[in-house]
Amino acid sequence: MSNKQSVRVEFEGVDLRVEGFYSPGRAGTMYTRSGDPGNPPEDPEFECDKVFVVDKETKNEVCITELLENANFTWKTFHDEKQIMHAETYFERIESACILAIMDRDYEHKQLKLSGEFS
């Protein structure tokens, strides 16, 4: 089950706010309670919907989603295979950074709850 998330990440020295859909994944099981074969694990996933650059001082934001999409198209159209792979992985790399940020945020939230500092 995925849910809409907004997460702040630093990507290659640039502050970003990314909106997208996060699915936390699940642990696999060897066997079900009945003894039947279990299910494989599912990795967490994040799908970018919108990407914003955030100015560190003013907190103003500029949406760069279309720019990233157009960069991918431009690389595909005009450059060789190696450069295409580099351009196409921007979204994947941003999505990976978002997964780590969400997992860190969830872990910190859980630790605060366990310590009684957060309800």
Tell me the pLDDT band of 72, cut-offs 50, 70 and 90.
Answer: low
In the block, tokens 């760069």 appear at: 64
Order of strands across the sheet with 14-23?
A: 3-11, 14-23, 45-54, 61-63
Angle CA(1)–CA(12)–CA(89) in degrees, nearest 5?
55
pLDDT > 90 in the chain, percent: 34
Between the alpha carbon of residue 79 and those of residues 76, 82, 86, 92, 110, the distances in Å are 6, 8, 11, 19, 46
Tell me: pLDDT of 20 over 60. yes
12: three-class secondary structure by DSSP: coil
Tell me: pLDDT of 77 over 90. no
Between the alpha carbon of residue 71 and those of residues 36, 48, 115, the distances in Å are 48, 16, 46
Question: Which pLDDT tens digit goes with each residue over 87-102?
Answer: 556 788 888 999 999 9
